[in-house]
Structure 1
Amino acid sequence: MKIKLLLIIVSVIWFVSVASETVYKTRDAEGNIIFSDVPSEGAEEIIIDEAQTINIPKPKRLDNRRATKLSPEELNYTRFEVTLPEHDSTIRSNEGIVNISLEMTPELDDKHMIVFFMDGKEVSSGKSLQLSLQGIDRGSHTIAALIENENKKILKRSKQTTFHLRKESKLFKNRAKDNVNNGNTVITPPAGSDTPPEIPKIPTL
């Protein structure tokens, strides 16, 4: 009985951990949109429900055979777009985690499938409008998606969205640790900065 109860508890904890994920949206001094998995003052909280989690080791390339012409009655999706991440936004994640959300009208037909692409390569397919990617390299990337029917014919394509992934430098972390002396932290400005470093205060006796 105790073993069964333990299994139930573990299953519930696992379900809750994968059922939703929270990201935080802010803007920098220049008005650029920044997404992060770490909360900050004034950040807008965005909850991503039922997202698939996919690691990106060896993505597949888009099959050219999918570019088949469709009959007019199949072109019934009036809206299909990437809403997260926003175009030209910046995401900060040392783990390389990127959450993707789509919106579409009308709802997905039971016989149709959504295919996600990153940098022109297929990364996932399924019925969900949400996807979470892990292990993404720093730099600029593109996200797009399409809807296909049971015969692999393309019914609708989203516009391509560009985002920029940033990771905190390990060198900056090590430098910050080295600059802690006698309880006083010395902040070393980035290279090329005109701001002089802070001089440590001498403790009074």
Structure 2
Amino acid sequence: MRTSLMVLAVGLSLSLAAQAQQIFRSTDAQGNVVFTDNPEQGGEEVELTPLTVVPSRGEVRAESQPRVQSGASVTSSPGQPFMPYDSFRLLSPSHEQGIPVGQGGNVQVELGIEPELREDHRVRLLVDGQVSQSEMHTTVFMVANMNPGEHVLQAELLDATGEVRHRTSPVTIYVQRANVNRPSSSG
């Protein structure tokens, strides 16, 4: 009992001492504003307002947080919850973009992911609905020697267990290739 009263008395005296602090504002010879707790240096007293305290987002109750999927637990690795990305999209090439003849059917695909891709997450690229590039920890893919014509690109974001968590909107591109017309051999 005595210890708790002692702790209470010390805590109360410290809080009163903190509230009793006075701050004074003055200007030195070079014109700089100086704040001090020493009233002997002159200056005017500054009225201190209470600090604004904003609770962190970590204090939000678990029931009020949005769920990524309904049903079973959503985790990307043991002990770490899957955190959804704010943005997962194809930046380049743009929708309905033509890929010029000079690129020879080679297309660089760039993804925009916000926040940055986590260490344990991977991305894979689909061309015309088929996996073109296996899952990798990257935001840039190179697709080589694409056939001329229309193609649909899409990317999938996979968590640590290999489950698809996000999918970009499909982007249609048109690959242009040079055709060499040879005269028929009429012999």
TM-score w.r.t. the length of structure 1 is: 0.47
Aligned residues: 106
> How far apart are 1:159 and its partner, in Å?
0.6
> How far apart are 1:75 and its partner, in Å?
4.6
Of 129, 133, 149, 2:139 maps to 129
The residue number in structure 2 matching 1:71 is 74
In structure 1, list runs of 5 or more residues that go unmatched.
1-67, 176-205
Question: How many Å separate the matches in 2 of 1:141 and 1:130?
Answer: 18
TM-score w.r.t. the length of structure 2 is: 0.52
Of 94, 106, 118, 1:109 maps to 118
Q: Secondary structure at the match of 2:110?
A: strand
Contact 1:118 1:142 in 2 (8 A): yes
Question: How many Å separate the matches in 2 of 1:109 and 1:132?
Answer: 21
Q: Secondary structure at the match of 1:144?
A: strand
Contact 1:140 1:162 in 2 (8 A): yes
Q: Deviations over 1:69-102 (max 9, x none)?
A: 7728525101000011100010013621111100
Residue 122 of structure 2 is aligned to residue 119 of structure 1: no
CA gap of 1:106–1:143, structure 2 versus 1, over 3 A, is same
Question: How many Å separate the matches in 1 of 2:94 and 2:84?
Answer: 25
CA gap of 1:86–1:111, structure 2 versus 1, over 3 A, is same
Of 157, 161, 167, 2:171 maps to 161
> How far apart are 1:142 and its partner, in Å?
0.6
Contact 1:75 1:155 in 2 (8 A): no
Of 81, 90, 100, 2:109 maps to 100
CA gap of 1:85–1:93, structure 2 versus 1, over 3 A, is same
> How far apart are 1:168 and its partner, in Å?
1.8
Contact 1:75 1:156 in 2 (8 A): no
CA gap of 1:70–1:101, structure 2 versus 1, over 3 A, is farther
Of 89, 100, 105, 2:97 maps to 89
Which consecutive segments of 4 or more residues in structure 1 shift more than 4 A? none
Percent identity (aligned): 18
Q: RMSD of the TM alignment (CA)?
A: 2.3
Which is higher, the Rg of structure 1 or of structure 2? 2
Q: Deviations over 1:25-78 (max 9, x none)?
A: xxxxxxxxxxxxxxxxxxxxxxxxxxxxxxxxxxxxxxxxxxx97728525101
Contact 1:70 1:154 in 2 (8 A): no
Contact 1:88 1:161 in 2 (8 A): yes
CA gap of 1:98–1:113, structure 2 versus 1, over 3 A, is same
> How far apart are 1:119 and its partner, in Å?
0.5
The residue number in structure 1 matching 2:88 is 80
In structure 2, list runs of 5 or more residues that go unmatched.
1-70, 76-80
The residue number in structure 2 matching 1:27 is none
CA gap of 1:126–1:96, structure 2 versus 1, over 3 A, is same
Contact 1:70 1:155 in 2 (8 A): no
CA gap of 1:69–1:139, structure 2 versus 1, over 3 A, is farther
> How far apart are 1:129 and its partner, in Å?
0.7
